[in-house]
Structure 1
Amino acid sequence: MAIEITLLGTGSPIPDPHRAGPATLVRTGGQTLLVDCGRGVLQRAAAVDVGANNLDALLLTHLHSDHITDLGDVIITRWVTTFDAQAAPLPIIGPPGTAEVVRATLEAFGFDIGYRIAHHDDLTEPPPLEVHEYTEGPVWDREPVRITAAPTDHRPVEPTLGFRVDCEGTAVVLAGDTVPCAGLDDLSAGADALVHTVIREDLVNQIPMQRFKDICDYHSSVQQAAATAARAGVGTLILTHYVPAIAPGQEEQWRQLAATEFDGRIELGDDLHRVQVG
């Protein structure tokens, strides 16, 4: 069965008028999965006719701010736009620490939640959620979709996860932020596609501030992501979370860097770039 990948947000922690924060939509087997929820995620999702109340699960690769900026928006918007009193809680799947972040988010929105319960007779409880923390192994099994997590390496951010989505013979891996590591290699082996965040080390190292240069030691370069895809034997490499943002007209330059290590299909682009696998 085909898996559809939509790069909802391809930006970085630096606000960009043309790119939302990191977020990827996965649709397969009649299920809609959101991986990370950077700034602007619901606006981008609306552009492909997906609302917060359409999500079957939210998967978090790690708890860096740019990957969870709009967590509160996803939670509250899903709550106020779900009109079925019997609707299932939103599953939120992430690394250890996720439950504490969700608890703190609900506390931060405590006044808002109270106002809405007081004003709407059909809202009687806070947003219904199910939070699950994992470091590796199976995290989702709802036919025909299975999801497996594995540890990646984004230290000192720890733990961090990659996710593999399998659906009736097709598999896509979403790496999150990481340097090359055995966990991601094992997770990606034999998959049809790898969605990988990337930086351009050659460009980042030209920035005079050390704080920017620091990011090179815990992200994969374009070439490193491509080498991971090649080791795994995937057919398609999908690049996202570009640092710095791809300048107009430079797409082929990024593609050629990846092609030095990977001879398969290479996909990259602006927000809402869509790729079908399988």
Structure 2
Amino acid sequence: MDDSNIMGATLPVDANRAGPSTLVKAGDSPLLVDCGRGALMRAAAAGVGAANLTALLLTHLHSDHITDLSDVITTRWVTTFMPTPLPIIGPPGTKAVVEATLAALAPDISYRIAHHADITEPPSVQVHEYTEGQVWDGDEVRIAVAPTDHRPVEPTIAFRVEYESNSVVLAGDTVPCATLDQLARGADALVHTVIRKDLVALVPRQRLKDILDYHSSVEQAAATAARAGVNTLVLTHYVPPLAPGEEDQWRALAANEFRGRVELGDDLLRVTIG
């Protein structure tokens, strides 16, 4: 199983990093987890187009994690010649967001149907809302979800993707919680968003300091990985952006809590497990 990580910091816009999104290749099933700014561009660089996606998985509905939702829907629609509905799996509220996105795309949809003889129907999606349990079982790929704690954003979920004997858990934005520990137990890899609390605490703007309330620090994410007994921890969506030369600092903070393999999730990082 490959994990091509394609994410970036929430604020500010970074010229060198896309928004939060992770591509999981499980056999012949490319799964896109979240779709932040520039997700499809990074997916294309990883060799996967929108038409190839098996499903879109959303951990939560914060704007930075769904910025490219309309792009994923539209691009898959116009580049698929034998269209099948795009499964979109997310927490409760996902259906309303997808419906609103399709409504906003209504003029574009009408233009394309009027212009192309082989496009006769609007984009087809199948939205499934879950907070826990097994949500996918087919073609040797199994997906389970569990609730996480990103309050006041709720509900939020994490995903566990299993293929053959391999497994990866994608935590999304969350503070440590027992449900994530349980979902991640024994996984080959944990992909976890992180912040440097020591650095964010120095910023004078309270609005940025507010993120300390509902994101895990590097140390907390590493402690989650240690409790769950995973083999590899991938640090993603880091805030503040990781500056050149700081890599050893971030790894050292994680190593204080976790003795396994630690990867820093720069754009287009590829991690192979199993």
| Residue identity in the other structure for 1:205 | A
Pairwise CA distance, 1:30: 1.2
The equivalent of 2:167 in structure 1 is: 171
Pairwise CA distance, 1:143: 2.2
- State whether residues 7 and 265 of structure 2, in contact with CA within 8 Å, keep that contact through their aligned partners in structure 1: no
The equivalent of 1:231 in structure 2 is: 227
- Pick the aligned partner of 2:73 from 69, 72, 75: 75
Pairwise CA distance, 1:167: 1.1
Pairwise CA distance, 1:76: 0.3
CA distance in 2, matches of 1:72, 1:276: 29
CA distance in 2, matches of 1:11, 1:36: 14
CA distance in 1, matches of 2:267, 2:13: 14
The equivalent of 2:215 in structure 1 is: 219
CA distance in 2, matches of 1:13, 1:112: 29
When structure 1 is superposed on structure 2, of 223-232 and 46-55 the one drifting more is 46-55
Instruction: Report the 3-state secondary structure (helix = DSSP H, G, I; strand = E; otherwise coil) of the residue aligned with 1:234.
Output: coil
Pairwise CA distance, 1:28: 1.3
- Pick the aligned partner of 1:37 from 35, 38, 42: 35
| Residue identity in the other structure for 1:201 | K
The equivalent of 2:104 in structure 1 is: 108
- State whether residues 234 and 265 of structure 2, in contact with CA within 8 Å, keep that contact through their aligned partners in structure 1: no
The equivalent of 1:189 in structure 2 is: 185
% identical equivalent positions: 70
CA distance in 2, matches of 1:125, 1:61: 29
CA distance in 1, matches of 2:40, 2:261: 29
- State whether residues 237 and 265 of structure 2, in contact with CA within 8 Å, keep that contact through their aligned partners in structure 1: no
CA distance in 1, matches of 2:117, 2:184: 48
Instruction: Tell me whether 1:22 sits opposite 2:13 in the alignment.
Output: no
Instruction: Tell me whether 1:263 sits opposite 2:259 in the alignment.
Output: yes
Pairwise CA distance, 1:10: 2.9
CA distance in 2, matches of 1:59, 1:229: 22
CA distance in 1, matches of 2:198, 2:9: 18
Pairwise CA distance, 1:12: 2.0
| Residue identity in the other structure for 2:255 | A
Pairwise CA distance, 1:188: 0.5
Pairwise CA distance, 1:124: 0.9
| Residue identity in the other structure for 2:198 | D
Deviations 1:245-276 (A, max 9, x none): 10011111101100000000000142001100
> Where do 5+ consecutive residues of structure 1 fail to align?
none
- State whether residues 13 and 21 of structure 1, in contact with CA within 8 Å, keep that contact through their aligned partners in structure 2: no
The equivalent of 1:162 in structure 2 is: 158
Pairwise CA distance, 1:11: 2.7
When structure 1 is superposed on structure 2, of 4-13 and 138-147 the one drifting more is 4-13
CA distance in 2, matches of 1:88, 1:121: 18
CA distance in 1, matches of 2:90, 2:28: 22
| Residue identity in the other structure for 2:2 | E
TM-score where L is the length of structure 2: 0.99
Instruction: Report the 3-state secondary structure (helix = DSSP H, G, I; strand = E; otherwise coil) of the residue aligned with 1:127.
Output: coil
CA distance in 2, matches of 1:130, 1:117: 20
CA distance in 2, matches of 1:78, 1:14: 29
When structure 1 is superposed on structure 2, of 151-160 and 41-50 the one drifting more is 41-50
Instruction: Tell me whether 1:272 sits opposite 2:268 in the alignment.
Output: yes
With over 3 angstroms needed to count, the CA separation of the structure-2 counterparts of 1:251 and 1:269, relative to structure 1, is farther
Pairwise CA distance, 1:29: 1.9
Number of positions where the alignment pairs a residue of Structure 1 with one of Structure 2: 274
The equivalent of 2:88 in structure 1 is: 92
The equivalent of 2:53 in structure 1 is: 55
TM-score where L is the length of structure 1: 0.97
- State whether residues 8 and 14 of structure 2, in contact with CA within 8 Å, keep that contact through their aligned partners in structure 1: no
Instruction: Tell me whether 1:251 sits opposite 2:251 in the alignment.
Output: no
- State whether residues 172 and 191 of structure 1, in contact with CA within 8 Å, keep that contact through their aligned partners in structure 2: yes
The equivalent of 2:135 in structure 1 is: 139
> Where do 5+ consecutive residues of structure 2 fail to align?
none
The equivalent of 1:121 in structure 2 is: 117
